[in-house]
A and B are shown apart, each in its own frame.
Chain A
């Protein structure tokens, strides 16, 4: 009894060496170490695990089926949230997803990509997407977008708009130059145009965007029209159907859209260009490292 009390006392006394204390602490260390190792082993990614990670709903041959994809599938198939879905609905979606994963894995084993054109196309699209993932999953800075916008300003202009009158006069008539003089003084009216033997060509009427005016007037007349100021009259232009004279009611020339107004388009163009650049660079790399032999007759 006396010995036992003495041993307990020495175990507690840190000033003295105690083999029991050392043994106890070593055991504690080993247990904590084993617990941590066990926890890491069963939850670490990339290792074979017996536990389904919290972010997944199943593992099929260690390939995860994401919980988020499962919920999305459930919602798109039955238009219900998880809590409102019946047990049968949940099981159906899960089984469908497991089936899909099993078939995908089997497809890889059978190398269906070598024969099935649909699979080949899907693979090409998927690899392109993978290559572009850097561009897809990152948000360019505002400074980068502004700099892109400034470098490609011509793409971000508004469409010009014009309201133009197109009059046609008989060819070889001296009245045309008199009509031009009259139009420079006063706005056109049907009576004024008729006085000089002219009429509206009927090609244009209401206000139009430049691209539409170009289609309606034709290249030559449009080129003459776009430079006219409001109230401007063109020089007579001889064409197969007579001599044309243009009178500009209103001409709003294209202007650079401000950055905020064009930002959507800038972001889209910026991202598309980055994707194109990444895809081209990756293709060049793949070609460089590949061993491609071409038949003699196609070289």
Chain B
């Protein structure tokens, strides 16, 4: 009799684990993404399951710790700077699902940094005209000046005119240079640089040859649960205990 009881118990235990997982999984999917961080059970469940998925799909570019690679313009996912959206789970989820410039119709693809040192800076907008090397250098001086770094005053003044005028930079980066995370345009005056080390040479490369970082759309390869789990894991990278975001 004891044997039977133990066998039934074992069967039940084996059955309960996947059933519980399915239950939490369903709860995770139905939960409002904004409320997940305040639910420790969901947070640890999703972040735990998101780790191997991140390793399998995202770490090849973002690195196993999610710190990215400035040389290649791959963003650091552990800092508090979000190029697309505000770093909430729903924003991260959308990037994973449909990607950035992935050709998927739902992807983020509004903003492409024109290559001002090429004959046709933008494929999408024929009105954008090239700039000369001295004009690009003037713009860099203006950006340096706005960042509070040493800059040539006269060149910076010329750069400001270009920024707000013929260069058309304000159109995406906004007049205060703070960018626009609604379309994935970086802030030019914070301490975080997506491409390179923030030097004049690195800025010249960005302005002259353009930028168009991409992230694939994972929607066909990873199911909705996996996508949410990765999103929660990525969220946890920048919201861990002691981070600037930790509440």
> Chain A: interface residue count, which band?
35 or more
With beta carbons under 8 angstroms apart, the residue of A11, A129, A159, A161 that contacts B103 is: A129
Q: Which residue of A lies closest to B131 (CB)?
A: A209
Size of interface on B: residues with Cβ below 8 Å to A: 60
With beta carbons under 8 angstroms apart, the residue of A72, A125, A159, A209 that contacts B94 is: A72
With beta carbons under 8 angstroms apart, the residue of B1, B94, B101, B133 that contacts A207 is: B133
Interface check B124, CB cutoff 8 A: no
A207 touches B34 (CB 8 A): no
Q: Which residue of B lies closest to A12 (CB)?
A: B1
B32 touches A83 (CB 8 A): yes
Interface check A37, CB cutoff 8 A: no
Interface check A271, CB cutoff 8 A: yes
Interface check B219, CB cutoff 8 A: yes
Which of B146-154, B209-217, B238-246 is the interface stretch?
B209-217
Task: For the complex formed, measure the closest distance between the CB of B118 and the CB atoms of chain A, giving whole angstroms.
Answer: 6
Interface check A103, CB cutoff 8 A: no
Interface check B72, CB cutoff 8 A: yes
Interface check A142, CB cutoff 8 A: yes
Q: Which residue of B lies closest to A259 (CB)?
A: B72
Interface check B90, CB cutoff 8 A: yes
In the complex, chain B residues whose CB is within 8 Å of the CB of A138: 216, 221
Of residues 177 to 235 in A, which have CB atoms within 8 Å of B's CB atoms?
A: 206-209, 211-212
With beta carbons under 8 angstroms apart, the residue of B30, B102, B119, B214 that contacts A264 is: B214
Contact flags B6-22 to A (C-beta < 8 A → 1, else 0): 00100100010000000
In the complex, chain A residues whose CB is within 8 Å of the CB of B227: 68
Interface check B165, CB cutoff 8 A: no
Q: Which residue of B lies closest to A67 (CB)?
A: B29
Q: Which residue of A lies closest to B106 (CB)?
A: A72
B3 touches A14 (CB 8 A): yes
B217 touches A137 (CB 8 A): yes
Q: How many inter-chain residue pairs (CB < 8 Å) link A and B?
A: 130
B132 touches A54 (CB 8 A): no
B32 touches A263 (CB 8 A): no
Of residues 49 to 107 in A, which have CB atoms within 8 Å of B's CB atoms?
A: 54-55, 66-68, 71-72, 75, 81-84
A260 touches B221 (CB 8 A): no
In the complex, chain A residues whose CB is within 8 Å of the CB of B99: 136-137
Task: For the complex formed, measure the closest distance between the CB of A155 and the CB atoms of chain B, giving whole angstroms.
Answer: 12
Answer whether A263 and B225 are a contact pair too, CB < 8 Å, given A14-B1, A81-B34, A138-B216.
no
Of residues 229 to 269 in A, which have CB atoms within 8 Å of B's CB atoms?
A: 257, 260-265, 267-268
In the complex, chain B residues whose CB is within 8 Å of the CB of A83: 32, 34-35
With beta carbons under 8 angstroms apart, the residue of B27, B103, B225 that contacts A271 is: B103
Of residues 15 to 59 in A, which have CB atoms within 8 Å of B's CB atoms?
A: 21, 25, 28, 32, 54-55
Interface check A115, CB cutoff 8 A: no
A211 touches B118 (CB 8 A): yes
A136 touches B32 (CB 8 A): no
A264 touches B211 (CB 8 A): yes
With beta carbons under 8 angstroms apart, the residue of A81, A136, A158, A208 that contacts B90 is: A81
In the complex, chain B residues whose CB is within 8 Å of the CB of A262: 209
Chain A residues with CB under 8 Å of chain B are: 11-12, 14, 21, 25, 28, 32, 54-55, 66-68, 71-72, 75, 81-84, 125, 129, 132-133, 135-139, 141-142, 158-159, 161, 206-209, 211-212, 257, 260-265, 267-268, 271, 275
Chain A to chain B contacts (Cβ below 8 Å), 16 pairs? A11-B1, A14-B4, A21-B4, A67-B29, A81-B32, A81-B90, A82-B32, A84-B34, A132-B103, A138-B216, A142-B60, A209-B133, A212-B119, A264-B211, A264-B213, A268-B101
